[in-house]
Amino acid sequence: MGAKVFVGRRKQLALIDEAVGLAHTGEPQFVVFGGEVGIGKTRLMRHVADRLAESGMRILSSACIELGVEGLPLAPVTAVLRDLVHELGEAALPALLPGADALLGLLPELGAPEPAPSSQAQMFDLFAALLRRLSAERPVLLVIDDLQWADRSTRDLLGYLARAMRAARVLTVMAYRTDDLDRRHPLRPFLAELERLRGVRRSELAGFSRAEIAELVAGLRAAPAARPLIDEVYRRSGGNALFAEELALADGVGEVPDSLRDLLLHRVEQLPPSALRVVRLAAVGGRRVPHRLLAATAGLDEVQLLDALRAATAVQVLSATVDGYEFQHGLLREMTAADLLPAERARLHRRYAEAIEADPALVPADRLAAQIAHHWDGAGEDHKALPALVRSAEVAGSIHARAEQAQIIERTLDLWPRVPDAQRLSGHDRLDLFETAVAAATWAGEDARALGLIDRALAEIDQAREPGRTAKLLAHRGMTLHHLDRDGALTSVAEAVRLLPTVPPGIRASVLDLVAVVYALRGHPGPARDAAEEAARLAAELGDVDVAVNARTTLGWVLCQLGAYDESLATLRAAGDLAERHDDLVRVARAQLNIAEALHHLGHYPSMIVAAQAGLEAAYRSGVSRTLGALLAAQLCAALAAVGRWDDAESTSSTALDMDPPDVFGAALYALRAEIALARGETGAVREQMSLARTLLSPVSHPGPTALAVTRLEAEIALVENRIDDARAAITAALPTATGTGLALHAWPLVTIGVRIETHARMRARVNSRSDTGGGAVDALRAVADQLPTHTPLFRAYAAQFAAEIGVPATSWPDVVADWDAVGSPYPAARARLRAAEAALGVGDRRAARRWLLAAVEQADHLGAETLSEQVRLLARSSKLPLDAQAEPRTRPGDLERFGLTDREVEVLHLVAEGRSNRQIGEQLFISAKTVSVHVSNILTKLGVNSRGEASATAHRLHLLDG
What confidence tens digit (pLDDT) does each residue in 830-841 have?
999 999 999 888
For 460-518, write each residue's pLDDT tens digit: 999 889 999 999 999 999 999 988 878 899 999 999 999 999 999 989 999 999 999 99
How far the first Cα of the chain sits from its last, in Å, is 56
Query: What's residue 177's pLDDT?
Result: 86
Query: What's residue 259's pLDDT?
Result: 75
DSSP strands (E only) in 41-82: 58-63
DSSP-assigned beta bridge partners for residue 176: 34
The CATH number of the structural domain formed by 898-957 is 1.10.10.10
pLDDT surpasses 60 at 406: yes
Query: What's residue 891's pLDDT?
Result: 36
Query: What's residue 698's pLDDT?
Result: 62
Mean pLDDT score, 418-438: 91
3-state secondary structure string across 197-212? CCCEEEEECCCCCHHH
Mean pLDDT score, 163-170: 88
Mean pLDDT score, 650-667: 87
- Where is 83: in which H helix or E strand? helix 75-88
Query: What's residue 124's pLDDT?
Result: 85
Domain 468-564 and domain 898-957, same fold? Reply is no
Query: What's residue 252's pLDDT?
Result: 53
CA distance 716 to 322: 51
pLDDT surpasses 70 at 849: yes
Q: Selecting from 1.10.1240.10, 3.40.605.10, 3.40.50.300, 3.40.50.2300, what CATH number does the domain 10-204 have? A: 3.40.50.300
pLDDT surpasses 90 at 576: yes
The pairs formed by 477-482 with CB atoms below 8 angstroms and a separation of 24 or more are 477/451, 478/514, 478/515, 478/518, 479/442, 479/514, 479/517, 479/518, 479/521, 480/442, 480/447, 480/450, 480/451, 480/454, 481/451, 482/518, 482/521, 482/522, 482/702
Sequence-distant (6+) residues with CB within 8 A of 105 are 112, 113, 114, 115
pTM of this prediction?
A: 0.71
pLDDT band at 677 (very low <50, low <70, confident <90, very high): very high
Lowest mean pLDDT among 80-89, 381-390, 888-897: 888-897
pLDDT band at 596 (very low <50, low <70, confident <90, very high): very high
3-state secondary structure string across 280-326? HHHHHHCCEEEHHHHHHHHCCCHHHHHHHHHHHHHCCCEEECCCEEE
Domain boundaries, the chain: 10-204, 210-254, 468-564, 898-957
pLDDT band at 118 (very low <50, low <70, confident <90, very high): very low
Amino acid at 940: L
For 510-554, write each residue's pLDDT tens digit: 999 999 999 988 888 899 999 999 999 999 999 999 999 999 999
User: What is the number of alpha carbons within 13 Å of residue 613 lying toward its C-beta?
Assistant: 10
For 603-625, write each residue's pLDDT tens digit: 999 999 999 999 999 999 888 88
For 891-919, write each residue's pLDDT tens digit: 334 455 567 777 677 778 888 877 788 87
Inter-residue contact 670 to 211 (CB < 8 Å): yes
Residues 468-564: name the CATH superfamily. Answer: Tetratricopeptide repeat domain (1.25.40.10)
* Other beta carbons less than 10 A from residue 903's beta carbon: 8
Query: What's residue 889's pLDDT?
Result: 45
pLDDT surpasses 50 at 268: yes
* Other beta carbons less than 10 A from residue 228's beta carbon: 14
- Percent over 70 (pLDDT), the chain: 91
Query: What's residue 911's pLDDT?
Result: 83
pLDDT surpasses 70 at 772: no
Could you tell me whether strands 318-320 and 324-327 are parallel, antiparallel, or unpaired per DSSP bridges?
antiparallel
DSSP-assigned beta bridge partners for residue 170: 140
Which of 653, 598, 656 is closest to 627 using CA atoms?
656
Which of 327, 319, 39, 29 is closest to 175 using CA atoms?
39
Mean pLDDT score, 714-739: 88
pLDDT surpasses 90 at 172: yes
Q: What is the mean pLDDT of the chain?
A: 86
Query: What's residue 484's pLDDT?
Result: 82
pLDDT band at 787 (very low <50, low <70, confident <90, very high): very high
